[in-house]
Amino acid sequence: MRKPVRGIENNRILTPAQLIFLKEFIQSDLKHPFRLTGGTALSAFYMEHRFSEDLDFFSREKISLLEGGDKRGGC
């Protein structure tokens, strides 16, 4: 049976710094079109099998990283 996805509150996997960042990020206009992915996302919200220090965000859209800079298909 599948475990339900854990929310951000009282999450045992995320560090205090990750929680602060994610709470600010989801309230900002920057959250679109990014998605939290990778091992930290899997562990924090589904498997709860390990700790991780990084947060991986990806986008299917091309994002201008710097004003007048090049476009990349993910960050």
pLDDT digits over 31-53, tens only? 778 888 787 887 777 777 777 88
pTM above threshold 0.85: no
Say whether pLDDT at 75 is over 60: no
Provide the 8-state DSSP code for 61: S
Q: How far apart are CA 73 and CA 75, in angstroms?
A: 7
